[in-house]
Amino acid sequence: MNAMTKPDTMRSTIAAGHNLLPKPDLITVEEAKAMDVARLTDLFKTHLNPGQLHFMKLLGFHKIKIERAEGMYYIDQNGRKILDFFGGFGSLAFGHNHPKILEARKKFQEEKRQEIAIAFMSQYAAALAHNLAKCSPGELDMVFLGSSGSEAMEAAIKVAERAAGPKRPKIVYAENSFHGKTKGVLAITDGALYRADFKVTDNTVKVPFGDIDAIERAFRTDPEIGVIVLETIQGGGGIVQAPAEFWTKLRALCDQYGVLWVADEVQCGYGRSGRFYAFEHYGVVPDVTALAKSLGGGKAAVGAMIAKRDVYMKAYGTPKTAMIHAMATFGGIGEACVTAIEALNVLYDEHLIDNSAETGAYLLERLKAVQAKYPKIIKDVRGKGFMVGLEFHDFSQTLPMVLRPVVSVLDDKLKGSLSGFVGSLLLRDYDVLVAFTEYNRNVIRLEPPLICQREHVDRFVEALDSLLSRGIVTIVKDFVKSQMS
């Protein structure tokens, strides 16, 4: 802040002649918006994540600077419209910059409403909690608000652990699970990459995802188990679903052994699967659940843990226990809550969950037809609503000998995996963005905004069909060429 712009209050308290702190060489908002790709790359490398740039370069993402984003599209520095079938791993239910959500935020700012909800009760946090309770089945009606999926999941395992009690501290989790990267949930996130060699808590028991017998065995043989945590549809694992009957059996087992079930709906929830929560497909209700991503309307960072009242009360229900895990500084922050309140209203007013079910089924059907056309390339197409996985065959053994050395100089993650090549070329040649998958490098994840229409599906499927019609050898050659340009 320079002397010309300092507010009145400051002017009166700073003595004349006082040496004001010099302003560091700061970038302004307008300069940030206007920076070119070279400067952006330089700053990313210098101050954010130099290693990550390697992957961006591999996929050709480093040449792009997004100027604007609207609805189903990103618009880059050259005015190119990129169709978004990535959807921020499920964070963009409303697409980019939904006008009603923007309007609610603008009004909140103009009215100079309060943000931080620590000293006084917040009408915005209270209203959002009410709305979440209304969207949730059964007795899921106590809400904790935070600002990420990881934070919501931290809150979920903490409330469950306390409600289960000190004699039952063990948590069951699944193979290929992803629940976030913060230190607590890292213990139930099954990714060697993310776990690295961090010391995580060892009160955990791992079971194969969807294996009810393994869970029954664990519950029967280990009375210290008090909690089980599962994504209802595994996202990072590659859009993996358990058989429908698994969930009713799981609910029954949890009731039988008094184990609390935490459903992680951070990625598959909020309408993505064609129901508000994915577990609603199976007519069961968990004891605790968590949402984030699209909860913030694509504009704010909001995560929520929603617990059954008795679970919550056991954990934090008295004045003595109430503050053990009360909301953090930014939990329930005003504009984020208002954004989430408006977003929930839009979700129902615009029937986006119904659209997810219907247009998602259309996407799946069209992709199945593409699979039938290229059975040697596409191994599987699966999912629910707008949470779809496209799995390619591993081609490391089928690629012609002449191309193998070329591919082998590429990054380890790309060997044998068509996802990287297809994703990169879809962007380069067809202006379409898709997502990759942490644990299964052969799977492309399709999580378009829930506003996605049939015409967008058609455009995506036609792009994919056209690319695959080149055949694996040409796709690999085209990709390798793109690395050299």
Ligand X SMILES: Cc1ncc(COP(=O)(O)O)c(C=O)c1O
Point out which residues bind ligand X (CB under 6 A).
89, 148-150, 153, 178-180, 231, 235-236, 264, 266-267, 292
- Closer residue to ligand X (CB): 171 or 464: 171
- Smallest gap from residue 260 Cβ to ligand X (A): 17
The label of the residue with tokens 């618009």 reads 75
| Nearer residue to ligand X within complex by CB, 416 or 423 | 423
Do 104 and 338 form a contact (C-beta atoms < 8 A)?
A: yes
Give least dist CB 435 to ligand X, A.
10
Mark 288-302 as b/e (b = at least 16 C-beta within 10 Å). Answer: bbbbbbbbbbbbbbb
Left (φ > 0), alpha (ψ -120 to 50) or beta: where does 269 sit? beta
Residue whose Cβ sits closest to ligand X:
149
How many angstroms separate the CA atoms of 174 and 209, rounded? 5
User: CB of residue 234 vs ligand X: minimum separation in angstroms?
Assistant: 8
Beta strand segments in 156-223, E? 170-174, 204-207
Length, in residues, of the chain: 485
**Identity of the residue, 235 or 360, whose beta carbon is nearer to ligand X in the bound complex:** 235
Question: For residues 177 and 236, what is the distance between their CA atoms, to the nearest angstrom?
Answer: 7
CB of 267 to ligand X, least distance (A): 4
Q: How far is the CB of 270 from ligand X (least distance, A)?
A: 12
The residue among 170 and 179 lying less far from ligand X, judged by its C-beta, is 179
What is the spatial distance between Cα 158 and Cα 143, in angstroms, rounded to a whole number? 13
Nearest-approach distance from CB 265 to ligand X, in angstroms: 8
Angle between the 50-59 and 418-430 helix axes, to the nearest 10 degrees? 70
Nearest to ligand X of 184, 416 (CB atom): 184
- In the complex with ligand X, the residue whose CB is nearer, 279 or 421, is 279
The residue among 236 and 298 lying less far from ligand X, judged by its C-beta, is 236
Residue 281: partners with Cβ closer than 8 Å, 6 or more residues away: 244, 273, 274, 275, 384
Q: Which is nearer to ligand X, 98 or 445 (CB)?
A: 445
Closest distance between ligand X and the C-beta of residue 186, in Å?
A: 11
Please, which residue, 185 or 377, has the CB nearer to ligand X? 185
Determine the residue type at 82: I
In angstroms, the CA 267 to CA 164 distance is: 25
Q: Residue 151 or residue 161: which is nearer to ligand X going by CB? A: 151
Q: Which of 383, 358, 359, 343 is nearest to 135 (CA)?
A: 343
In the complex, least distance from residue 419 CB atom to ligand X, rounded to whole angstroms: 17
Burial of 150-165, coded b for 16+ CB within 10 Å and e otherwise, reads: bbbbbbbbbbbbbbbe
Write down the least CB distance from residue 264 to ligand X, Å. 5
- Residue 427 Cβ vs ligand X, minimum distance, rounded to whole Å: 21
Instruction: Please state, in angstroms and rounded to a whole number, the distance separating the CA atoms of residues 279 and 306.
Output: 14
Q: Are 476 and 410 in contact (CB under 8 A)?
A: no
- H or E element at residue 404: helix 404-408
For residue 52, count other CB atoms closer than 10 A to its CB: 12
CB of 269 to ligand X, least distance (A): 9
Spatial distance between the Cα atoms of 254 and 87, rounded to a whole number of angstroms: 34
Euclidean distance between the first and the last CA atom of the chain, given in angstroms as a whole number: 44
Nearer to ligand X, 153 or 341 (CB): 153
Q: 302: which 2 tokens? A: 């909001």
Q: What is the largest CA-CA distance in the chain?
A: 79
Smallest separation (angstroms) from ligand X to the CB of 48: 16
Token pair, residue 388, equals 């779809």
Residue in 473, 448, 417 with CA at minimum distance from that of residue 58: 417
Q: How far is CA 188 from CA 28, 46, 91, 149, 194, in A?
A: 41, 32, 22, 14, 11
Q: Which residues lie across from 264 on neighbouring strands?
A: 231, 290
| Residue whose CB is less far from ligand X, 52 or 396 | 52
